[in-house]
Amino acid sequence: MDEKEEIVLDAIRKDARTLGGVMKATDLPKVSAYRKIKSLIRKGYVRVEVKDGKRFLYAGEKRG
């Protein structure tokens, strides 16, 4: 995990539940925040739940 991924994951752990929330908490541009979130999802650190058509981010346990 790189430094920016750690920053994004920390923001999600501290209740940044959306892409906008992560952007606000980390001061990362939209594309960078999105890429880091996707990477964290792929690696199993973050999971996504869809509620009322909106995507919410949650810190999860790393897979295998």
Q: What CATH number was assigned to the domain covering residues 3-59?
A: 1.10.10.10
* pLDDT value of position 28: 98
Confirm if 38 and 27 have CB atoms less than 8 A apart.
no
Q: CA angle at residue 37 from 36 to 43, to 5 degrees?
A: 90
* pLDDT value of position 60: 83
Confirm if 56 and 17 have CB atoms less than 8 A apart.
yes
Model confidence pLDDT, tens digit, residues 16-63: 999 999 999 999 999 999 999 999 999 999 999 999 999 999 998 665
Residue whose structure tokens are 């594309």: 31
Task: Say what the pTM is.
Answer: 0.90
Residue whose structure tokens are 């920016």: 4
Whole-angstrom Cα distance, residue 1 to residue 40? 8
